[in-house]
Amino acid sequence: MKAAPSRPDLGGAPGDSPERRNLSPAALYEHAIRRDEAVIVSTGALTAETGKHTGRSPKDKFFVKEPTSRDAIWWHPGNQPISTSSFDRLLARMQEYSQANPVYTKDVFACADPRHRLRVRVISEFAWHSLFAHNLFIRPNADELRGFEPDFTVMALPSVKADPAQDGTHSETFILVHLGRRMVLIGGTEYAGEIKKSIFTALNYLLPAKGVFPMHCSANVDEDGGDEALFFGLSGTGKTTLSADPKRRLIGDDEHGWSDSGVFNFEGGCYAKTIRIHKESEPEIYAAVESFGTILENVVYDPRTRVPDYDSDEKTENTRAAYPVDLIPNAVLSGIGGHPRNVIFLSADAYGVLPPVARLDDDQIRFYFLSGYTAKVAGTERGVTEPEPIFSTCFAAPFLVLPPETYADMLIDRVNRHHAQVWMLNTGWVGGPYGVGKRMSIAHTRAIVSAVVEGRLREVPTHVDPIFGLHIPDRVPAVPAEVLDPRGSWADPEAYDRQALKLRKLFEENIHAIGKNAATAG
């Protein structure tokens, strides 16, 4: 009789071991299940809960104020300093924990372009966090893993918690970035997104010195290559959905660099929102979400059938799926493209006053890039009826390390050098604000995107919006003329004027605040 294979070490022995280093997805599944970290749902995906933190904790993120980086960091309220002694104390606590408990090591790359590649080591308490790193970063082959020495190390140990009184943090949760020692410490949170975003933060510091513009955007290219497009936008604006176009090839869905050679993906995977995802509207993403190896975060499922309920927001609106980019059938597996011909800023305007599409000049590129605008719908609390504006500088405020003008200058330089056109698209409301107007038709938005990336709007005449000064195309194929006229779509044009002037004032106040922060930080 053939002997049964011996089981791998599934935990219990102290510290790291070869049995928990660079495990395959199948092995990490087994570890996660046996350790009660996650469950398998009916689709074959692995689903985990992230506890009280169902998103990032920006108020718990700190930069170590140390000699090599302190003079370069933009010390605005979002980039909080912490002392080297606090970092050392928490690092010692993490090292003590990892020596006494099982931890997982995953060696990966960031940056698809080998000339700018960063070797990253992720040390995690959870097996599913190791699988997350496997899915989201670029996966080295066996030869590349031999003698792997990291350029940057991330330690993600949720069981290690800070003592605010002793450690100088705001809570027991902490994300500490030490740019001098090339380390990130993450404790007190099980939200895996902190792992990937910590490396994006590091790249926002490291790459500009190499002449590479780091971007929080998705990117795709036409089937023949040579017609790349970038999509900037905050959560809920359609960045992932619109870049996953079956007629084009996906370079990446979230983070990219723009070098002298072109654009390249920072990652090897996608981190897509799954709330209310449907096969009919997002077939490529839906198929990836329902695959073996994919990790679902905080997705509700039937406990008996294990069928996921993507419509449920019982645990959070921010339900997520992390999967390798090669699960998207038309992905560019090299993660590398040429110089973009079109750059698109996406805003879901709940005030209902921005045009569905506008062409931007240099001054407007700077203004709207620094603004990084979208708007949340009105809240459900009694008396809260107004949309809430969200401004995230350069569409990436939580991850910026250098002053924002540095990134704006890099964008405009590349746009001008490579003759790209920049557009702003409103994927939010038309005909009135949220509660009065209606959400922009996804069919019309897709038609606008197609016209932009295919170059069919480059020579179309434009007219100037009198309040925002935006250049609105006179016509877009397959989009009714009345859709392109935000003021005309309102039942009361004077109400539109009042709302538009209100939003313009909010933009101006935000730009003034950015300048004030820059002056204070400088």
Per the listing, tokens 């497009």 go with 229
Of 139, 239, 366, 414, the active-site residue reads 239
Instruction: Establish whether 279 is a catalytic residue.
Output: no
- C-alpha 296/C-alpha 308 separation (Å) is 9
Find the helix or strand (DSSP H, E) in which 360 lies. Answer: strand 357-360
Q: Which of 354, 289, 302, 303 lies closest to 486 in space, CA to CA?
A: 354
Of 31, 47, 54, 56, the active-site residue reads 56
- C-alpha 74/C-alpha 54 separation (Å) is 27
Strand partners, 142: none
- C-alpha 133/C-alpha 192 separation (Å) is 9
Per the listing, tokens 């050098």 go with 417
Of 93, 121, 216, 366, the active-site residue reads 216
Instruction: Establish whether 315 is a catalytic residue.
Output: no
> Which pairs count as long-range contacts for 68-73, CB under 8 Å and 24+ apart, including other chains?
68/179, 68/180, 69/179, 69/180, 69/205, 72/205, 72/401, 72/402, 73/179, 73/205, 73/401, 73/402
Of 113, 254, 349, 465, the active-site residue reads 254
Phi-psi group of 99: left, alpha or beta (phi > 0 → left; psi -120 to 50 → alpha; rest → beta): alpha
Q: How many CB atoms lie within 10 A of CB 26?
A: 10
Name the H helices within 380-429.
404-417
Of 86, 240, 371, 392, the active-site residue reads 240
What is the per-residue DSSP string for 141-187? -HHHHTT---SEEEEEETT----HHHH--SSS-EEEEETTTTEEEEE
Q: Return the biggest CA–CA distance within the chain.
A: 85
Q: Which tokens in the block code for residue 71?
A: 């003079």
Instruction: Establish whether 320 is a catalytic residue.
Output: yes
Of 153, 235, 291, 406, the active-site residue reads 235
Helix (H, G, I), strand (E, B) or coil at 209: helix
- C-alpha 310/C-alpha 273 separation (Å) is 10
- C-alpha 377/C-alpha 399 separation (Å) is 24
Instruction: Establish whether 43 is a catalytic residue.
Output: no
Instruction: Establish whether 456 is a catalytic residue.
Output: no
Q: How many residues does the chain have?
A: 522
Instruction: Establish whether 261 is a catalytic residue.
Output: no
Bridge-based pairing of strands 421-426 and 213-222 is unpaired
- C-alpha 74/C-alpha 394 separation (Å) is 14
Instruction: Establish whether 498 is a catalytic residue.
Output: no
Of 106, 129, 139, 197, the active-site residue reads 197
Instruction: Establish whether 65 is a catalytic residue.
Output: no
Q: Where in the sequence numbering do the catalytic residues fall? A: 56, 197, 216, 235, 239-240, 254, 320
